Amino acid sequence: MKFLKKTLWFVGITAVVLAVTALLTHKLLPDNSGRSVSHSLPPQAESSALAAHFLPQIQAHPELSGVYPLREGRDAFLARLALAEAAQQTLDVQYYIWHDDVSGHLLMQALYKAAERGVRVRLLLDDLNTGGLDGLLAAMNAHPNIEVRLFNPFMQRGFRPLGYLSDFFRLNRRMHNKSFTADGVVTVIGGRNVGDEYFGAGTGVMFADLDVAAVGAAARDVGQDFDRYWASESVYPAESIISEAPVAFDTAPAQDAETQGYLKALAELPLARQLADGSLPLEWANTTLISDDPAKGLGKALPENTVLAHIGPVMGAAQNELLIVSPYFVPTQKGTDLLGGIARNGKQVTVLTNSLSATDVAAVHAGYAKYRKDLLHAGVHLFELKPDATVTGAEKGAVVGGSSGASLHAKTFTVDNKTLFVGSFNMDPRSAELNTEMGFLIDSPTLAAQLADGLKQHQAEHTYSVALTPKGDLQWQTLENGQTAAFDTEPNSSVMTRFVVWVCSLLPIEWLL
């Protein structure tokens, strides 16, 4: 009884301290009514070399989009860098994460240099991951041709977690969208944020990811979608949030060996020239932009105006095969029933996600692990990426291949080898209910088949196949040195890691994952 009383006393005191701290540190958001108004501009061939090169192709394919998949990280970075360097009118850039590392700094420099030559730059960042960047963002925002805005900003710029004490339900909703659009004519969207781990720079853990570059109707739609986020209630001009003084901004590339080595490797790729002169080999297809209503950032979006409301019926309509790739796969009971129902109706349902040893968020793995047996019983095929696999451009259509220290980050699915989705949407409750997301639905048997075939070519060697034993236990199988290896527990994981996952699976946190 004494222990219980002490525990209750401690919990009560802690709650009071937190409540008082929340009251003392709470800061109101500034008035947002005086923001400037701007809009995306249509491509103009007379003032944009990009438009001059691509508009004839666009006009020859009315209402279609020219799509080019960016599977390899360095190609994905170079596409963005080349667009920043080629832009002559506008750059509209929207990201969830922007690191100030080698690739992040190079891209920020490219935006600044574009503004120096007269390009209008609009940079929209989610504020969750901008810690330590206030001086840099202030320097960018101080340029007359650059405007920086922040989505759902933290008013406590120092110790940001304090903001959660008084404004949790707003700050828990983030803008997960990712797009990079130049002169209104070429756009890049997909799963990659801006940082070395997404672009094959440095030596740390790399993310296996997928983007697409697109021209035509798709780029037009992304521009219009950027406008509605730029003007949404959740977005604030940087100058109304950031009080830190601008830092000195150097537009010359750093001379360290890592940066120079990365730039040398990029110089060997043909993609920049293909983008600049319009020779990029495009697949022309009906391409639909799907994007959440930005009101979702305040919990005000109607269910029918969400990405999930659009992709759910597409997946459910599979006639032969549904292939899902999602790094953070938390199907929930509703999703498990949906996928299980499709499989029981004779359709092949395959899911590729991270193994426990490859994931960067163990709590999310817990949200997936408790549904594995139900999915397998229903006939869903489960594959988990090994930590030595990543994106490779070595073979056409390949998505996974050999590397060291890797984690799956691509968010894509194919239906019947005809329709392909590429975007920012994870198959989890956070993407479905909390964060804003976007992506393309592409009607292209060529691209859909390339993705499906690429995965199947490499799954034996670079993934674990999860199955049920005759006793109903889980077993992981993979090919190692030409021999089949089987594991009765999560491969390459420690007892402590598995214990943490088990504890997380017991907590009522699925809605946060």
323 strand-pairing partners: 350, 414
Q: Predicted confidence band at 317 (pLDDT cuts at 50, 70, 90)?
A: very high
Q: What are phi and psi of 332, to 5 degrees?
A: 60, 170
Of 409, 418, 458, 462, the active-site residue reads: 409
Q: Predicted confidence band at 204 (pLDDT cuts at 50, 70, 90)?
A: low
5 in catalytic set: no
State residue 346's pLDDT score: 95
Q: Predicted confidence band at 18 (pLDDT cuts at 50, 70, 90)?
A: low
126 in catalytic set: no
| Mean local confidence (pLDDT), 321-334 | 96
| Mean local confidence (pLDDT), 195-201 | 91
| Mean local confidence (pLDDT), 264-289 | 91
State residue 258's pLDDT score: 85
Name the nearest CA neighbour of 458 among 484, 474, 478, 485: 478
Of 360, 416, 443, 453, the active-site residue reads: 416
- DSSP β-ladder status, 483-487 and 474-480: antiparallel
* Dihedral over alpha carbons 241, 247, 251, 255 (to 10 degrees): -130
Give CA–CA dist 343/346, Å, rounded.
Answer: 5
Residues 6 or more apart whose CB falls under 8 angstroms from that of 11 comprise none
Of 53, 99, 105, 178, the active-site residue reads: 178
State residue 477's pLDDT score: 94
105 in catalytic set: no
Question: What single-letter amino acid sits at 325?
Answer: V
221 in catalytic set: no
Q: Say what the pTM is.
A: 0.93
Of 53, 105, 176, 462, the active-site residue reads: 176
134 in catalytic set: no
Enter the tokens of residue 383. Answer: 């594959």
| Mean local confidence (pLDDT), 283-304 | 97
State residue 393's pLDDT score: 37
Enter the tokens of residue 480. Answer: 């190692």
Residue 207 predicted with pLDDT over 90: no
pLDDT tens-place string over residues 393-410: 333 444 444 444 568 899
509 or 350, higher pLDDT? 350
Enter the tokens of residue 396. Answer: 């056409």
Q: Work out the number of other CB atoms within 10 angstroms of the CB of residue 62.
A: 8
Enter the tokens of residue 139. Answer: 């320097």
Enter the tokens of residue 344. Answer: 């029981």
296 in catalytic set: no
Residue 391 predicted with pLDDT over 50: no
Residue 105 predicted with pLDDT over 80: yes
Residue 478 predicted with pLDDT over 80: yes
Enter the tokens of residue 379. Answer: 């006939």
Q: What are phi and psi of 431, to 5 degrees?
A: -65, -35
Enter the tokens of residue 54. Answer: 């691509």
Q: What DSSP letter does each residue of 93-152 carry, written as one string?
A: EEES-B-SSHHHHHHHHHHHHHHHTT-EEEEEEEGGG-TT-HHHHHHHHTSTTEEEEEES
Q: Predicted confidence band at 295 (pLDDT cuts at 50, 70, 90)?
A: very high
Enter the tokens of residue 431. Answer: 């993407």
State residue 8's pLDDT score: 61
Of 365, 370, 411, 418, the active-site residue reads: 411
284 strand-pairing partners: 66
283 within 8 A of 446, measured Cβ to Cβ: yes
Name the nearest CA neighbour of 209 among 96, 125, 111: 96
pLDDT, the chain, mean: 90
Which range is least confidently modeled, 263-267, 298-302, 338-342, 427-431? 263-267
State residue 89's pLDDT score: 97
| Mean local confidence (pLDDT), 386-390 | 74
State residue 403's pLDDT score: 41
State residue 205's pLDDT score: 66
Q: Where are any strands of DSSP class E within 356-473?
A: 381-385, 389-390, 401-402, 406-408, 412-415, 419-423, 438-443, 463-468
Q: Predicted confidence band at 329 (pLDDT cuts at 50, 70, 90)?
A: very high
State residue 250's pLDDT score: 82
State residue 16's pLDDT score: 66
Q: Work out the number of other CB atoms within 10 angstroms of the CB of residue 72.
A: 22
pLDDT tens-place string over residues 111-167: 999 999 999 999 999 999 999 999 999 999 999 999 999 999 999 998 888 889 889
